[in-house]
Structure 1
Amino acid sequence: MSNTNAAKLIIENIQLLEQSKKMIEDEIGVKLHEAVDKVIKEHIDSFGEWEGCYQFLEEGYIAFAPNNWKAKISNKFHQNFYARYSLSSESSETDQEGNEWWLSSFLKNDIERVIFNFYPWYDNFKEKVNNKKWKEFSNEQNQLIPQIEQLGFKYNATNGSWYLVVDGIEPAVFIESYENDDLEDALTPITEALDTLKQAHPYFDQIVQAAITKFGRIDSEDAA
């Protein structure tokens, strides 16, 4: 479709687009965010001694980590751990253009996908760690532990991070679940990705423990 024809189609349907935007953001999107919060929290709770921040509806933010990665206690979840997993979008790792709405990214599409990623929190190590130091360390770890990529994670050498792409939801499956007022049924790709993350977790734990050994563990005075 040419730009002229696309513009004509948009102009002719501008009110429908306005209504669609409001419905996506105020109704469908809210129900999706609520379901994602619930499904991920329940799945992570089944892992055992893990903690999480599940505020996808309120803040667009979900992160979680095992208790043995905790370095301190503060009112900001992500700052409490040597590293954590979080829900994000693929464009955050690739710097490519993403979708306008999370709904688009959760559905099968050719532009943007949802991911789970692994990131450190530099300030919790005794030695001053910056992006350059972490990348050198993570590059080495990626070579030492190929099992992470073998499980489907991608390594981002620019950030020194790993991420797992979540399969998109088939639109027909999403529609059926939405009509049944049970979007949790459509989020099987999320739980399947979390199961893969759980398989990879022992390798990420090796990385965190190696980082603590290399960069040092903060003590109670440092964490205060």
Structure 2
Amino acid sequence: MSHSQAEILIIQNIQLLEQSRELLENTVEKKFFDTIDQIIKNHTQSSDEDFIGVYDFYEDETWFLPNVWSLESFDIENSKTHKNVYAYYELIHEGNNDTNYWRLSNYFSNEYDKAVFNFTFWKNSFSNYSKAAFKLFCSEQNNKFIELKKLGFQFNLDGQNWYLPIPFLNQEDVIQNYQNDTLEDALAPIKSTLDILIQAHPIFNEIVQSAKIQFSQHTEIL
């Protein structure tokens, strides 16, 4: 279809597009992201680690961490203390300079963005942090733990983070299960990616503990 043909279709169906946008953003995405949040919460809370987190991707964000990565002043019920952590996992989107307009698009085959589970540090919690030293530290850790690459993690040297892409979902499976109110059954790729993340967690825990030793005391945000 040419651009001119697509433009005509948009004009012809402008009201349908308006209605679709409202339905997508207020109903479809909410159901979809709430289901993903529940999967993440169930997976983390059923693991051997004492995970805590915020699971609210539709309204804001989803992130989680084991208790041992938090500072003493951290309180999950007090958002003002949520930056008092050494590191955490988060559900985000990774892509190139072009982005999809709707976040839901990132879970299906496309040329721009993909959903990922990301491990990152909150660098302000390390009083001896310097960009060059921390960058070198993360590079050394990436070379040390080659298992992360084997598990599918990609290392971002500039951001000093590791992320694990979630395979694209099968649209037909999602449609069928959405209609049958069994959406979770179509989200197996998210569950399997979480399994890999939990498998890699001991490595990330060792990296965090090494960072705490090397970069010394923390600075808490009260």
Q: Which ranges in structure 2 are unaligned for 5 or more consecutive residues? A: none
Tell me, in whole angstroms, the C-alpha distance in 1 between the residues paired with 2:66 and 2:176.
Answer: 35
Q: Which has the higher helix share?
A: 1
Name the counterpart of 1:82.
86
1:119-165: per-residue Cα shift (whole Å, max 9, x none)? 101121232x2443322211111111111111100011121111000
**Equivalent residue, structure 2, for 1:57:** 58
Q: How does 1:115-126 map to 2 (within 5 A)?
A: 115-126=116-127
Partners of 1:150 and 1:130 lie apart in 2 by 29
> Deviations along 1:6-52, whole A, 9 cap, x unmatched?
21221122122112111111111111121112111111101131111
* 1:114 counterpart = 2:118: no
What is residue 99 of structure 1 aligned with on the other side?
100
Partner of 1:204: 204
Q: Which residues in structure 2 correspond to 1:50-199 (within 5 Å)?
A: 50-59=51-60, 61-72=61-72, 73-74=74-75, 75-76=78-79, 78-91=82-95, 95-127=96-128, 129-199=129-199
TM-score by length of 1: 0.90
Tell me how far 1:81 sits from its aligned partner.
1.9
Runs of 4+ in 1 over 6 A off after TM superposition: none
* 1:90-137 Cα shifts (integer Å, max 9, x gaps): 13xxx421211121112233322100001101121232x244332221
RMSD over aligned CA atoms reads: 1.8
Identical-pair percentage? 38
2 CA distance for matches of 1:131 and 1:6? 47
Aligned to 2:4: 4
Indicate the SS of the match to 2:58.
helix
Q: Equivalent residue of 1:57, what SS?
A: coil
